[in-house]
Each structure stands twice: as C-alpha cells, then as structure tokens.
Structure 1
Amino acid sequence: MNKKSRIHAVTTGVAVLCCLFGFMACKPQDKSKEAASETVQEIKKTVVTTVPPKRVPVFYSGMQENGTIEAVEQVTVKSKVSGRLEQMLVHQGDVVEAGQTVALVEHKSIQARLESAKADLVVSQAQLAQAKVTLADAQKEADRYEKLFKDGYCTEQQLTQRRTTLRTAQAGLAVSQANIAKNKASIGEIMVDLDEATIKAPIAGVISDDFSHTPGEMINTDTLIVEVVGMDRLYARVNVAEQYVHRISKGMKVFISLLGDKKGPYEGSVWRIQPTVDTATRTTRVDALANDSSAMRPGMFVTVFFAEEKMENPVVLPMGAVKRSNGDHFIWLMIGDKAKRLIVRPGLKNGNETAIEDVIPEGARVIITGGDNLKDGDLVVEANHQAAASS
C-alpha cells in the first residue's frame, strides 16, 4: 500500500469512529428532549379536584336548629298510701306495660281496717232492720189513735204521744240509714287504699328511675316510687330565635339527625309551637314529632332541619362548584382530560349544597377546585391522579 492509500484509510477510520461516537452521544440527548417535551405537556394540564354529579329525588331547603329529644308521655308515679314497702317489682331500665304492678305496700293494717268496717256495716244493717220494725209498729199505732181520736174514743194527749213515738221511730230509721251509708263509704275508701297499696304503671314504657327503693323501708303518701317514660312517641324540642319563628308552621316536614347515627336523618313534622316568646332567651319552643323514634332516647342531642321548600329530581352540587360571571351561573366539567364550561340555572340551597335542574353529560365530573382560570378545552388532570403519577 502506498503512502497515499494509507492516509486515505486512516482518514476513513477516523471518520467512522467520529460518526460512531457522535451517534452514541446523540441518543441520550434525544431521550432527554422527549422527556422534556412530555414534562411541558404535563405542566400545561391544570390540576383540579372533581366530584360526580349527584341526582336526588327531592331536595329541600330550609333552616337547621339544635334540639333535645323528649318523650310525649313521661309520668312520675307516687305512692297514695303510707306504710312499709313490701316489694319493689321493677328497676331502672325495665320495660313495663300499662297497668303492670311495679311495687306493693304492706297492706295488713289496711285489711284489718276493712274487716272492721265490714263488721260495723253488719251492725248498722241489723240496727236498720230493727228501726224499720219499730217504725212500722209506731206507724200502725199512730194510725189507730188517729181514728180513735176522730171517733172520740181517746184523748188528744194520747194521740200526741203516739205521734211523738212515730217521729222518734222515723228519726231512728234515718240515723240507721245514715250509719249504713257512712259504713259503706268507709269500706269504699279502705278498698281504694287497699287497691292503691298495689302500685301500678299508668302507661307503657321504660322505668327511667326507681329512686333506689328497697323492700322494708317506710313510705308516705306522695313518695316517688318510679318514673315511666313512654318510648313509642318521642319528639325533638327546639328553641327557635324569635326572628325565625314566622318561617315555621304546624305540620311542616322536618328531618331529625342524631350524633354518630348513620341511618338518619329521620323524618317527622312540627307537632306544636309555643304561642309565646321566652323573654329571657328571646326564643319560642317548637316541638317536632318523629315518625320513627326507635333509635332515639330522651335527653339525646339532635339537629332538626325544617324543610321550607323542595325541588324534585335535581342535581345536587357543592356550593363552591357553581361560579358566576357577567350575570351567568356556570360550572366547570371535566370530560376526559378537558375542561368544559356549562351554563346552569341554580335552584334551592341548603347548607353547603345547591341544586340545579340542568342535564350534565354522561361520564362528566364536576370540577370543585382548581377551575378559577380555566378556559373551554383546557387540559386538566385529577389531583389524586397527578399525585399517583408523581410517586
């Protein structure tokens, strides 16, 4: 090989090596450019949070107040007789029926009084029978002397004596009759005492307090024996500020919510409205009766929503999802990965929610945050999706 050929071969080899190194150096740069391009595209997507549109059969607007559950029927049972407590048959938490015996007062002394009164009645009845015989005899004698005096066979003094005897017999009969009435009244009173020695629950319900009574203790009239709460009919008691009372009417639908309860709220209605305002609190008492009170207990803290207006079959959205600009109300939708502006007609509001009547496209989600500077067609991405991609 001559010198010229060797130079050409070396030059060609160097060129090949340069191309090879150049290709290897350029390949990572292409990947970097591609990654950078993708990053630019991701940066152009606006991060948003969305919720699916929620359509409900009925949406209510109104006002909400705090209240307390109370029972329509709550009775404190007192003893009507004095004596020793013989038996305490129920205790706190027990379920009782109306007329069920809850306690017994020792009644031996009452029974003794009853037997004595019955004996007195027997004596009075015997006296009455004798008084009737005496009266009949006196009447016959008086009638006979009336005739004798008329015919001139007796003196006026003799007739007067017979008339006096008749009046005495009549008075004796009246006394005997009065004694019998008195004896019967006494027996009736003792029978009442005997019956009241058996203390009964006046209503069906639950024993909320047994006042820690124990058999053998002495009790008097008006001693508290038990407290019975009827659990079938419970209501929410609410004190409403005077400036809002005009918004409430009897029979208005309400929804009662219990703390920590996931089954509610429970429907009910306004049962009664106090006609006056408490001058100390400037509130009026409103009672709302629950349709189903099985999950409620007297004394529970509740919230009561008074339903003033209703809207049927609307879409319910968070309040912040509805925007306003140039007199128009609108929402931002996320359809696929693009934003779309939709003009809407807002309806009723309730707390943090608002209802609209408009139709939302199938599969669209409502943007609730991140849509302040959007334009139609802007690329958007869910916040949780972006976080997942970053990790």
Structure 2
Amino acid sequence: MNYETQFVGDSAVAIDADDRRAGRKRLLLIGGGVAVVLVAVAAWISMRGGDAPAAAPAAQVPVVTVTSPGQSVVSRTVTATGSLGARVDMPVGVVGEGGMVARVLVQPGDWVRAGQVLAVIERSVQVEQVRSLAAQVEVARADAKLAQAQLDRAKALVGRGFISAADIDQRTATRDAANARVSVAIAQLAEQRARTGRLDIRAPASGLVLTRAVEPGQIVGSGSGVLFRMAKDGEMELLAQVAEGDLPTLRVGNSATVIPVGGKDQYAGRVWQVSPVVDPQTRQGIARIAVPYHAAIRPGGFAAVTITSGSGSAPLLPESAVQSDPKGSYVYVVNGKNMVERRDVTVGQVSDAGVAVTGGIAGTEKIVTSAGAFLTPGQKVKPELLKAR
C-alpha cells in the first residue's frame, strides 16, 4: 500500500508541472500577438500623422481684403526746391555827384514809398550855389524889366519923330536879349537845384528795404556801388529747380504751395514765368513762383514747393496696396478664380488721400489692399471687399 500511494503522488506532481509549462507558452504567444498588433497600430497612426501637416495648408485659404478703387479725380503736381528772392530786386546807389553822407533815414525791413529819401548827402556848397543862381535870376529879370520900359517909352516917341525906327529895333533887341538872359538864369538855377536834389538817395519805387551798405560820414560817389537793395512792392519769388521732364506740364498761372525750410507754414503762390531753357549740366529748368510778402519769406533762403499742374482721373489706392521690388511698382489682383496675380503699375502723385496709379490697372479689378508681402502669384485666397468708411 505504501509503494502504490507514493507512485500515484509522484505522477500527479509531474502532471501539474506540465500544465504550468503549457500555460506559460500560451501567455507568451498571446503577448507576442498583442505586441505585433500594437506595433501595427502605432505604424498606421504615425503614417496618418505624417500626412496631416502636409495636407493642412492646402485646406487653409487665407482671407485678404480687396478694393475696387474705380476712377478718382486727382491733381497732377510737381515738387521742386529752390531759393527765395525778391521778384524785382532793385539796387539803389548814388545818382548825383556824391559827397559825405549826412544822415541815413531807413533800416532793412522798412517799407518806403516811391521817391522817399533813404540817405542825405552833405550839401552846404550846393546850397550856396543855388542862392547865387537865384540872385542872378533876379538880376536878369531886373534888366529885362528895364529893357521893356525903355522900349515902351521909345515907341511912345517914335510917332513924334524923336526916335527913329532903327532905335526901336535896337531897343527891341535889347529887351529880347534881357528876357533870354532871364530864361538862361532860371535854367541854370533849376539845373543846380536838380543837382542838389540828386544828392539825396531816393527810393526808385515803393517797396521793402532789404539791405543797407552806407553809414553817416561815409564818402560816396558814382563808383561806390549799391548802397541799398529793395524788393519792389515787397513781392517775393521762389526760383524752383524743376526737372526737365516736368517743365512741359507747367503753365503760367499754375497755383503753388511754398514751404520755407525750417518751418511748417505754407504760403500760396503762382507760377509767373517758366524757363525757356534747360541747364545742360543739371537737366533742370527754372520756374519762377511769385509769393506775397510775409516775414517768414526771406530772400536768400531755401524752400520747397508743390506746383499743381492740372488734374485727371486715375485709380486711387492705399499706400499699403502698392508694393515695389527691383523690377518696379506692382499690385496684387485677385482674378475670377480667386487666385493672386501680379500686376505691374505706374505710380503717380502720392498724397494723404492715397497713391494715384496712372498705368497698369483700370480701377475695376479687385486689388489686395494689405498683406501683399505675404502672398505669392498663383496662390488661392478668399477675397473680402474693403468697406467704405
């Protein structure tokens, strides 16, 4: 009994060990299968994940703001710079014989009328000469009066036979000579007075005194040069240096806006002369712009000017819509397929209202107003019309 029992127990132990080994094999096989499935799923997910970023941009269409500007009336303007000066610059010097300056009556910046005395020359000698000649006139008149009286008495006696006709002729000639001497004396007096008057340095016309180059005590004469400079009627002008290509567009009477350097104030003016020649070196011509007097308009100064040379119709775009590169200016147009096209344009006047486009577009197109730098030709977009303000 004991040997049988021991045998049966050993057999049961062996069977249990085999079952355990078989279970472990099944678990290993199941685990391997699950691992393979997991690897396959991970590979499939990774493949779908790699394709997604490439497809995403194709699905995202950028929204851009567009405008159809149409045609607007824009002013054609020409900008230039130049120097300021008197429209009619009048140099004033010594007209007479000159002498020592006794008094200077004006200063730069003074307004004077035509004929007003600017400086007085010492004239004591000339005054005495005038007095002498005035006395000679009185002497000549007295002689003429005496000659007339003698002639009248002679005529009264000629009928009685006391005076001959020859005596009458002689006395008549004497009277005429006396009257002629009166005329000569008067003319000499007037000449001397004119010479004395010319000693005064006078304004040739009304206007503004710009400079003064004479002081009391100074000896002046015909060779002393310019003693004063004046601007006739105070009128100023700008000598604008205009490019050769802009000269044909200017006309006498065109309005202009002048801004002196260093200031912000603007002054209205008008073109009164356009140069008929062009400087062969600078390829520029002169447009002379008349400007009314103002304290800020100083002759010799520098100023900028904008001349309105006319008006016309052109599309008006925001500055952000116009791009530029080495090839020139261009805009992006959205076509009927909502794709971006590059359109080369010619830019005209730039103002606060926008950029006038003089060529390349008609104004009926859909023009991208912003974000043009981030677009490329052929790119598909979603246009959104710019709302009027």
Partner of 2:262: 260
Q: Give the letter for the 2:176 counterpart.
A: A
Q: Give the letter for the 2:90 counterpart.
A: V
> Per the alignment, in what secondary structure is the counterpart of residue 318 of structure 2?
strand
Distance across 1 between alignment mates of 2:273 and 2:106: 34
Moved more, 276-285 or 296-305: 276-285
Identical residues among aligned pairs (%): 18
Residue 60 (1) aligns with residue 75 (2): yes
RMSD, matched Cα: 4.8
CA contact (8 A) 2:61 2:381 kept: no
CA contact (8 A) 2:270 2:290 kept: yes
Taking structure 1 as reference, are residues 84 and 330 closer, same or farther at Cα in structure 2, changes over 3 Å only? closer
- Give TM-score scaled by structure 1 length: 0.61
Decide which of 98, 107, 125 is 2:141's aligned counterpart.
125
Decide which of 183, 193, 197 is 1:181's aligned counterpart.
183
CA contact (8 A) 2:137 2:182 kept: yes
Task: Tell me the alpha carbon deviations over residues 284-310 of structure 1, each in whole angstroms, 9 at most, x when there is no partner.
Answer: 543122367553221222333332333
CA contact (8 A) 2:81 2:240 kept: yes
Partner of 2:310: 309
Residue 270 (1) aligns with residue 286 (2): no
How many residues get paired?
307
Structure 1 unmatched ranges of 5 or more: 1-39, 51-56, 149-158, 324-328, 334-339, 379-391
* 1:1-391 paired onto structure 2 within 5 Å: 59-81=74-96, 82-91=98-107, 93-99=108-114, 100-145=116-161, 162-211=164-213, 213-221=214-222, 223=224, 224-230=226-232, 232-240=234-242, 244-264=246-266, 266-275=267-276, 284-290=285-291, 293-310=294-311, 315=316, 317-318=318-319, 321=322, 349-350=348-349, 354-355=355-356, 366-367=370-371, 369-372=373-376, 376-377=381-382
Q: Give the letter for the 1:61 counterpart.
A: R
- Residue 348 of structure 1 deviates from its aligned partner by 7.0
Distance across 2 between alignment mates of 1:132 and 1:196: 37
Task: Tell me the alpha carbon deviations over residues 106-138 of structure 1, each in whole angstroms, 9 at most, x when there is no partner.
Answer: 122221111111111110110010010122233
Q: Give the letter for the 1:102 counterpart.
A: L
Q: Give the letter for the 1:96 counterpart.
A: W
Distance across 1 between alignment mates of 2:372 and 2:251: 36
- Residue 85 of structure 1 deviates from its aligned partner by 0.8
> Per the alignment, in what secondary structure is the counterpart of residue 249 of structure 1?
coil
> Per the alignment, in what secondary structure is the counterpart of residue 165 of structure 2?
helix
- Give TM-score scaled by structure 2 length: 0.61
Task: Tell me the alpha carbon deviations over residues 71-100 of structure 1, each in whole angstroms, 9 at most, x when there is no partner.
Answer: 123222222232211112334x33232254
> Per the alignment, in what secondary structure is the counterpart of residue 286 of structure 1?
strand
CA contact (8 A) 1:61 1:350 kept: yes
Taking structure 1 as reference, are residues 244 and 349 closer, same or farther at Cα in structure 2, changes over 3 Å only? closer
Taking structure 1 as reference, are residues 368 and 298 closer, same or farther at Cα in structure 2, changes over 3 Å only? farther
Taking structure 1 as reference, are residues 140 and 308 closer, same or farther at Cα in structure 2, changes over 3 Å only? same
Partner of 2:4: none
- Residue 315 of structure 1 deviates from its aligned partner by 4.9
Structure 2 unmatched ranges of 5 or more: 1-55, 66-71, 325-329, 384-389
Task: Tell me the alpha carbon deviations over residues 344-371 of structure 1, each in whole angstroms, 9 at most, x when there is no partner.
Answer: 9x89712696237979xxxx97447545
Q: Give the letter for the 2:131 counterpart.
A: E
Distance across 2 between alignment mates of 1:168 and 1:67: 77
Please say which structure displays the higher CA radius of gyration: 2
